[in-house]
Amino acid sequence: MPWRQAAVFVLLVIPAISSAQKMYTWIDDQGVAHFTDIKPIAREHEHVELKRPSLIPMRENITRGKRVSTINQQVNRSLEGSSSGQRTLTDKQEARERERKNARCEGYREKLDRIQKQLRAGYSNDQGNRLRRQRREVSQKLSRECLLG
């Protein structure tokens, strides 16, 4: 019985492999490129050489991923252990930093609102370009410093 299954497998796989390696391409009258595994008879065509697909063993990737995760956890634990004994900022300093950040972010939002109002009110071409550039810069600062960081 196993021989029969192997024979069926070979009979199904070999034609698929051999036909998959013969590819042809041609360009039609509208300039559209076509690819096929059937040789075109009535058209001028080119034979396309296909490279074998690269195979990546998944077991190796999984074990490397687990190893990297383990190393990351060890590094995080060592960093937590070293920083828990020493605090670089006091609670008051942290509160002041948060207040400064909130004030800076609110300033960015107000500036964006002001630029948006100017854009909606109408502008000359040069002024519009300048306003859009400013809007882009302020929006990037708001995203980087307030939303992402």
- pLDDT score recorded for residue 91: 81
- Is pTM beyond 0.85? Reply is no
Q: What is the mean pLDDT of each run of 10 residues along the chain (149 residues)?
A: 58 52 82 84 79 74 82 82 60 87 92 91 86 91 82
Domain-by-domain residue ranges, the chain?
2-48, 90-149
- At 108 the pLDDT is 92
Tell me, what's the pLDDT at 125?
A: 83
20 conformational bin, left if phi > 0, alpha if psi -120 to 50, beta if neither = alpha
Determine how many CB atoms are found less than 10 A away from the CB of residue 115. 20
The pLDDT of residue 17 is: 53
Which residue blocks in 21-90 are alpha helix, DSSP H? Answer: 58-85
